[in-house]
Every structure is written in structure tokens, then in C-alpha cells.
């Protein structure tokens, strides 16, 4: 008989561990650092660094869709069924706790929702399902290294099988997904401490004084307030977006981020071609899986 479990949560947790990390995660690579996982701002800024960095940090959508399907097929063969979750894309603004928002977005929907914000943990502790996904507890681990950062996952089970079918090897799959994704967080963390961002926050705070939320000190604080006070989330999102527009905050934030992503891209240079090659081959395999 086919055993049906709500396994979205447990697989998504695994995907998150390889596709996204907290904003405080240390940067990967042999980076120029200035302590505590922070990297320096570049004196010469690449105005296209945001797009380039996201292209490197985000895994291939085709490959990840195929990996989810391959994992699903493996589980189904073992008697489990599930609804495959969507692999989340890197959001540098959300990683900084300052999600992007415009006045129109604020009026319609408020702040964007974090894709990891409301996962039900239904039956996530099922022993049989966990074994199907990750193999026995004593399964050998497979490790991969990007610069100074290393990750390990079980070498058996359907989760590993999905990596192998799409990326060729588990290690290459980890490089092209979680390790590349995690590597960007040192840059976003560094940007959060930049003096120019502090100045932009101060301008925004001057604007917010004439609203029902005069105590807020920046868009990050407004977002945190909205999370803690959902009944006022739309109202604070509206005044936040209005003040951002008045002081040109979003553009100033991008200028800050670009300084650190330029450094990040320079530090990732030795790995970019390798990971792009892994992803290109994975897309070929992925299309075959999806087409089959």
C-alpha cells in the first residue's frame, strides 16, 4: 500500500539546509574578511553586481525542479507520496531583514511573505519517512567544500538520490545549490553594518516621525514591527513605503549592497566557472527527467 504523509515540511527543511541559510552565516570562499564573517566594501563598484551575484547564488530552476521530481519518484517507489515544494530563490533584501516594498505593493499586499515562514511540521518526525529520505542513521556522509565552507549530507536515501540523478554527484549538487547560496550571506551581513545604510535609515526615521509609528528607526525596524503586530502590518507597510519613496531609500540600499556584492563576486571568481558548468550539465539531465 502507498503510505501518504505530509512530507512537504521535512523535505523543505532539507532543501532549506542546502539552498538557504540564516543571514548571519559566514561567507564561503577564501575571502578577504574584516572579522566576524564580514567582508570589506569594494572601492570600485560594479553596478550590475546584484544581478550577477543572484545568478551565481541561485541554483538552476530547471535542475531543482527535476531534483524535486527525482526525489519524489524515489519516495513513491518506496511507498510514500508527497507534494513537492518549490525551491526558494535567494532574496538579498529579506536576508537583511529589509524586504523590498513599493507604495503599490504596500497598498495591495503589505510586506512580502517569507517562503519559510509558515511550514506545518505535520508528521515531520516519522521515522520511516526520514529513513527513506536520508537512509539509515549510520549512513556514510558525503562532503563538499567551497572555499573555507564545508557541508555534509547523508550519502544514501532519496534526498541523495535526487542529487545524483540531476547533478551527477552529491558533492556537485551541494556546490551548485546550498554552498553557492550560502556564500552570499557574508555580503548581505556586511551591508547591514554599512555607515551609508545607517545614514539612509536616519533619513527615513526623520520622515516617519510624522506618522503613527514615530519610534521606528528604519525600514528593517518597520518590518520587524509588522511581524510582531500583524494587525498593524498593512498600516506600517504603507507608511514605510511612502517614506522610502520620499528619501529614495531603496536606491540607496542598492548602492550599499553593490559595494559588498562587488567584493563577493571578486572572491567567488575562482568558483564561478566550475559551478556554472555543473549547473549547465544538471539542466541537461533535468530536462530529460522532466520530459520523461
Residue 208 has pLDDT above 90, yes or no: yes
Residue 7 pLDDT class (50, 70, 90 cuts): very low
Residue 12 pLDDT class (50, 70, 90 cuts): very low
Pairing of strands 149-154, 80-81: unpaired
Alpha helix ranges (H) inside the chain = 8-19, 49-57, 61-77, 92-95, 103-108, 127-134, 158-167, 170-174, 180-182, 185-192, 195-208, 219-228, 233-247, 249-291
pTM: 0.81
**Partner residues linked to 149 by β-bridges:** 146
- Region for residue 157 given its phi and psi (left: phi exceeds 0; alpha: psi -120 to 50; beta: otherwise): left
Residue 19 pLDDT class (50, 70, 90 cuts): very low
Residue 124 has pLDDT above 60, yes or no: no
Compute CA 7 distance to the chain's CA centroid, rounded to the nearest angstrom. Answer: 21
Per-residue model confidence (pLDDT) at position 130: 86
Per-residue model confidence (pLDDT) at position 36: 60
Do residues 233 and 108 make contact, with C-beta atoms less than 8 angstroms apart? no
Q: Which of 8, 13, 12, 23 is nearest to 181 (CA)?
A: 23
Do residues 175 and 19 make contact, with C-beta atoms less than 8 angstroms apart? no
Say which residue, 203 or 37, is predicted with more confidence.
Answer: 203
Residue 18 has pLDDT above 90, yes or no: no
How many other C-beta atoms can be found within 10 angstroms of the C-beta atom of residue 154? 19
Measured distance CA(285)–CA(287) in Å, rounded:
6
Q: What is the mean pLDDT of residues 34-58?
A: 90
Residue 197 has pLDDT above 50, yes or no: yes
- Among 14-23, 62-71, 188-197, which stretch is predicted with the lowest mean pLDDT? 14-23
Do residues 207 and 198 make contact, with C-beta atoms less than 8 angstroms apart? no
The predicted-structure confidence for 238-275, as pLDDT tens digits, reads as follows: 999 999 999 999 999 999 999 999 999 999 999 999 99
Q: Where are the domains of the chain?
A: 3-19+51-291
- Per-residue burial over 53-72, b if 16 or more Cβ lie within 10 Å, else e, is beebbbbbebbbbbbbbbbb
Say which residue, 193 or 2, is predicted with more confidence.
Answer: 193
**Concatenated DSSP letters for 145-210?**
EETTEEEEEESSSHHHHHHHHHHSSHHHHHIIIIIHHHTTHHHHHHHHT-HHHHHHHHHHHHHHTT
Mean pLDDT score of the chain: 85
* 80 membership: H or E segment, kind and range: strand 80-81
Amino acid at each position: 500500500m502507498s503510505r501518504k504523509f505530509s512530507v512537504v515540511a521535512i523535505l523543505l527543511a532539507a532543501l532549506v539546509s542546502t539552498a538557504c541559510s540564516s543571514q548571519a552565516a559566514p561567507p564561503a570562499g577564501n575571502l578577504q574578511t574584516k572579522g566576524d564573517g564580514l567582508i570589506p566594501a569594494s572601492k570600485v563598484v560594479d553596478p550590475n553586481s546584484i544581478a550577477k551575484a543572484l545568478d551565481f547564488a541561485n541554483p538552476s530552476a530547471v535542475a531543482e525542479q527535476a531534483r524535486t521530481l527525482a526525489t519524489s519518484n524515489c519516495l513513491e517507489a518506496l511507498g510514500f507520496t508527497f507534494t513537492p515544494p518549490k525551491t526558494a530563490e535567494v532574496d538579498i533584501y529579506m536576508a537583511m531583514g529589509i524586504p523590498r516594498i513599493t507604495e503599490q505593493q504596500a497598498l495591495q499586499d503589505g510586506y512580502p511573505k517569507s517562503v519559510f515562514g509558515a511550514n506545518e511540521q505535520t508528521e515531520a518526525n516519522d521515522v520511516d519517512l526520514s529513513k527513506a529520505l536520508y537512509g539509515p542513521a549510520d549512513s556514510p556522509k558525503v562532503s563538499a567544500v567551497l572555499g573555507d565552507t564545508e557541508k555534509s549530507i547523508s550519502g544514501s536515501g532519496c534526498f541523495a538520490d535526487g542529487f545524483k540523478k540531476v547533478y551527477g554527484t552529491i558533492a556537485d549538487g551541494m556546490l551548485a545549490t546550498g554552498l553557492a547560496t550560502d556564500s552570499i550571506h557574508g555580503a548581505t551581513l556586511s551591508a547591514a553594518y554599512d555607515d551609508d545604510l545607517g545614514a539612509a535609515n536616519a533619513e527615513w526615521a526623520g520622515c516617519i516621525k510624522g506618522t503613527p509609528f514615530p519610534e521606528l528607526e528604519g525600514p528593517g525596524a518597520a518590518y520587524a514591527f509588522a511581524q510582531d503586530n500583524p494587525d498593524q502590518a498593512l498600516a506600517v507597510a504603507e507608511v514605510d513605503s511612502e517614506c522610502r519613496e520620499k528619501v529614495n531609500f531603496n536606491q540607496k540600499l542598492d548602492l550599499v549592497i553593490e559595494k559588498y556584492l562587488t567584493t563577493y563576486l571578486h572572491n567567488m571568481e575562482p568558483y564561478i566557472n566550475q559551478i556554472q558548468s555543473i549547473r549547465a550539465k544538471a539542466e541537461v539531465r533535468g530536462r530529460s527527467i522532466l520530459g520523461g
